[in-house]
Structure 1
Amino acid sequence: MASGFVNIRRDVDDKFYRYRMPILLTKIEGKGNGIKTVLPNMSDVARALSRPPSYTTKFFGCELGAQTSVDEKNERYIVNGAHDANRLRELLDGFIDKFVLCKSCKNPETELIILKVGRTEDIIRDCKACGERTPIDMRHKLTTFILKNPPIKARKGKKATNGDAAAGVGGGGGDVTPENGNGEEGGDPGAESDDELTKKIKAEAAELNQDAAIEKEDWAVDTSPEAVKARQKALESSMAAAVLGGDDDGDDDDENSPYTQFGNWIMDVPETEDQKALNIAIYKKAEELGIEKKHKAVLILVTIFTEDVVAEIPKFAPLLKKMVTSEKHQKALLGGIERLVGLAYPDLLPQVPKILMALYQDDILDEEVVTEWGTHVSKKYTDKDTSKRVRKASAPFLKWLEEADDDDSDEDDD
């Protein structure tokens, strides 16, 4: 099974391209006249594009002349007939070009708007990146379906339904949710505020069932060596994308930037049983590149971890202590952990409390920093949905910290 992530614009070969989506998966079921192609991760793909999964599924039906089946509640999307995965991915590129990308700047940060002028209805792409509004070609058959099933807007302060979440209410593409263009809460009427999320996490923490709380993103997770390697590569790319432009070191959008070199070096570093020598070698490489004191370097450093991260943290603790020297560094480390468990190893979500505990017990993370991180969703390092899931998974650890504080307070009172 294919796995990993690709650029939303697959014609863009830049591995640091910030807008990414899961590779579309397909599964053939049935036989004879009852044969059909199931799209098991269509919800995830559609969410990355900020479009309802029914739009993409119906688009396939229009292009292939096939009947489609959409079950939003159970997230089951079907195109009748047996269809090649590569063919469907090519059609998805066509959907992205026609119904997602801004015609002006080719950016996927767009929202579909239906404009009525008299008896005429037009569909417009409202770009949050460049501000342009560009029209959809109304001759395409999908436009009729969109007009009958317009994008749903959730009321501010009201919890969005599963269908709303899958539809990407509020617009925006890829890893950036376009609220007001700079990462602050603003014009997205379907997004939950940080305060609302904080209240929700605290309310649920006491009765959190770890197995029930953590939702599976895919119908199955491929754990083959090839799939794991692909997820590691996706993580490396997304890490690099996260540090592009916006630090104090100038433009990093270059394969010769020190962060790119550091990331490539880490991915290729040979295995060794001499952990101390490995820690020293990594630090010296960062020092050689002049980034040993930069918080971005910590974000890249997280790519050294694998699915055995809990056991690996004590081994790399001396290196982490040397490189994580401020609150900014700690936040970058937490951002790296978000990407590690959210992109490279989604099966690690239940291990988030153990990961945080290991970092906390080794004095790498401060209580105040991790507590603030745990109750404030940020899309700085990953998309908002992933950010929420990782923080929700961290609730048992946050609850433990809170109870530990209460115990200390009781002892002081005595």
Structure 2
Amino acid sequence: MAAGFVNIRRDVDDKFYRYRMPILLTKIEGKGNGIKTVLPNMADVARALSRPPSYTTKFFGCELGAQTTCDEKNEKYIINGAHNADRLRELLDGFIDKFVLCKSCKNPETELIILKVGRSEDIIRDCKACGERTGVEMRHKLVTFILKNPPIKARKGKKAAQNGDAAAGVGGGGDVTPDNAEEAADGNPDSDDELTKKIKAEAAELNEETTLANEDWSADTSPEAVKARMKALEGGLAAASLANGDDEGSDDDGNSPYTQFGNWIMDVPELDPKALNVAIYKKAEELGIEKKHKTVLILVTIFTEDVLTEIPNLAPLFKKMVTSEKHQKALLGGIERLVGLAFPDLLPQVPKILMALYQDDILDEEVITNWGTHVSKKYTDKETSKKVRKASEPFLKWLEEADDDDSDED
């Protein structure tokens, strides 16, 4: 019997609340000393919470003083003894409060991060909604299990499964802030795993010859013409931001924080990548729009015809500012305008641009795939939208084939 769905925060009665999970199901098996409670849909519940199912199961064991069994390969999760379903659902609410919900905004869109402080370790909830980092109750018995079985950095789509990530979305790793952007920009050249190396190799082989390659997309590429197109593009983005109500209350286009940010971006001084990342974030923060998705839309105007070499330098900044699906869609909208309007000669480079953003964990596979299969006139005219998506076909095909390979291996 299929489970229904409930709000992750069960104190929220809003039927349109976006964060939902399956109702936890239980099944009593065995008898006598061998009686046990099976949790048949624990994997689905855990995925909705972006936590490994072993965490929730072990939490039950800690609270009930019972032994647990976690077979992640076969998705079998068991608690010794007979336990009432309502009681387990109450305990699940406790787990959500202690290890999922942001302590600041009560949003469940968090990741667990383990931070080393001297010889000790702290577990932090990193909220992708409000940006706050809040600690968990370090005295709870589950903490020891989490430290011994740390969360795995999430990979994209189906590729997460082949690396043992039981709950896509669970990850570690720090964010870029004005204080640590310099460190993050350095990167770690020795951190590539086999999958990343494979992606890089295949990215180099992506076919740039699309059906659009022979079309007449010539444009005046003089510095004056490019500057004029970029200025018009920035103005269009700011206007779109105002029209969609993401401005901080200003009715004057020239004084809106987005227009100010766009103008500042157009005239940003030449800085080394580390300093540039910090300067841009500080400017957005100063204007109070560092967490707005339309800020990402305008930020794309910083790219030039050398976008492929610029993405790695700005990746730490984009990873900091692109924190939700809405941010990713805004980024893709900015790319549409960049290659479709400002620099049409970049159209054949779309697959490599998408690969670079995907490889740096800025864009998710599902968001790219959905974008590539749904033409929209939200950011450009419909014809330009079609052409940009058509140009992306080699990368979309690569994603599909990579998923097929994963399925075959399973």
TM-score, with structure 2 as normaliser: 0.48
TM-score, with structure 1 as normaliser: 0.47
Q: Report which of the two structures shows the higher radius of gyration computed on alpha carbons.
A: 2
Which protein, 1 or 2, shows the higher relative CO under an 8 Å CA cutoff with sep ≥ 6? Answer: 1
